[in-house]
Amino acid sequence: MAYTFRSVVTGTGSYIPSKKVTNADFLDRTFLNADGSPFDKTNEEIIQKFEEITGIKERRYAADDMLASDMGAIAGEKALDDAGLNREELDYIIVAHNFGDVRADNPVTDMVPSLASRVKQSLKIKNPNCVAYDLPFGCPGWTQGIIQSNYYLQSGDASNCLVIGTETLSRICDPNDRDSMIYADGAGATILEARETDDNIGILSHAARTDAKEEAYFLRMEPPFDSTSADAPLYMHMDGRKLYQYALTHVPDLVKMGLNKAGLKFDDVDKVLIHQANAKMDAAILKRLGKLYEKENISENIMPMTISWLGNTSVATVPTMLDLILRGQMDNHHIGSGDTIILASVGAGMNINAVVYKAP
């Protein structure tokens, strides 16, 4: 019998900073429009509307002495322990991020050496054949790392891959931009291993796309709203409405494409783990996905949500959520043997991807 290598998750880990920042902590902020003019609403009104739209009530910020690579290494250590894997047997370390290591006192991207090399050093891995590299792909970076790992594992080139998503978004957002309340810090990690089997398990399919003709700068780096100086630091800004419409238009179709590749329908899906950027947007995406299959009533339990207390941690959101579920730390959510889950994300680029996975 001819066996096929299947990519299966054997370990997960995450790092959730202990510093909790509630919406009330933004009451003393000076929020401005993009042109630097003040809003005609009070901060109480702005924050209340923000919470209604995004579902975010609090988020976590990294301690001042903690870098993205530090968080990634901690999450990676937990994933290795969870998998019971000898770290010297790792073939690849892929670290997804977008801003490198950003110090609390200096919003400058530091990416030399790569974060993956820093993580490898922190994990004290000596094996030179363990290849470590970074993957900047917007918020879908961790999911793209999973896709790349699947190719390595299925080809026989690798036996084990560690994929990490880590980010300190709190340090690159404009404090005068109300969208700064969305962003948070954290890290998530996953061990994928090649399993030789004829069972239809592990990663079943994937789909991805990049739209850059009109959409490339929906998320971009610009000076803060309170400055027009050429010397001002650059912060992340976004066209929220355009991003919302883009995601709502294209994410459901891409997820369906992934399911079609796997020969599955939406009724076969047990969980949808989607990037946590906006609670209303995610709910609308799920509803539109259901309509593609003529399903009007979809159980809310199919889509776990962490955004209300973790905010948007970019590349860390999906792997952190996966880790919390597999560790039994999310009420009413469970992934068991034979369950089919979707891992999906959308973000800067504009990039979208989705992975269809069946738990062994």
DSSP state of 63: -
pLDDT in the model for residue 1: 40
| 139 included as an active-site residue | yes
Architecture per CATH, domain 202-358, reads as 3-Layer(aba) Sandwich (3.40)
Mean local confidence (pLDDT), 192-212: 96
pLDDT in the model for residue 3: 58
C-alpha distances out from residue 66 to 15, 158, 267, Å: 11, 31, 42
DSSP state of 129: T
Please tell me whether residue 231 adopts helix, strand or coil conformation: coil
| 312 included as an active-site residue | yes
pLDDT, tens digit (0-9, with 9 covering 90-100), for 222-267 = 988 987 666 788 999 999 999 999 999 999 999 999 999 999 999 9
pTM of the model: 0.95
pLDDT in the model for residue 300: 82
pLDDT in the model for residue 92: 98
How does 167-196 read in b/e, with b if 16+ C-beta sit within 10 Å?
bbbbbbbbebbbbbbbbbbbbbbbbbbbbe
Mean local confidence (pLDDT), 119-131: 98
pLDDT in the model for residue 226: 87
For the chain, what are the domain ranges?
4-197, 202-358
pLDDT in the model for residue 96: 98
Is the per-residue pLDDT at 165 higher than 50?
yes
| 130 included as an active-site residue | no
Mean local confidence (pLDDT), 23-36: 93
Strands 160-168 and 92-96 come out as parallel
Mean local confidence (pLDDT), 102-116: 93
pLDDT in the model for residue 69: 98
Integer Cα distance of 226 and 238 in angstroms:
16
pLDDT, tens digit (0-9, with 9 covering 90-100), for 333-351 = 999 999 999 999 999 999 9
pLDDT, tens digit (0-9, with 9 covering 90-100), for 296-333 = 888 889 999 999 999 999 999 999 999 999 999 999 99
CATH topology of domain 4-197: Peroxisomal Thiolase; Chain A, domain 1 (3.40.47)
Question: Which entry of 97, 206, 237, 275 is annotated as an active-site residue?
Answer: 275
Mean pLDDT of the chain: 95
pLDDT above 90 covers a percentage of the chain that reads 89
Mean local confidence (pLDDT), 119-144: 98
Question: Which entry of 312, 333, 351, 353 is annotated as an active-site residue?
Answer: 312
C-alpha distances out from residue 147 to 156, 203, 344, Å: 15, 9, 11
Question: Which entry of 23, 97, 139, 173 is annotated as an active-site residue?
Answer: 139
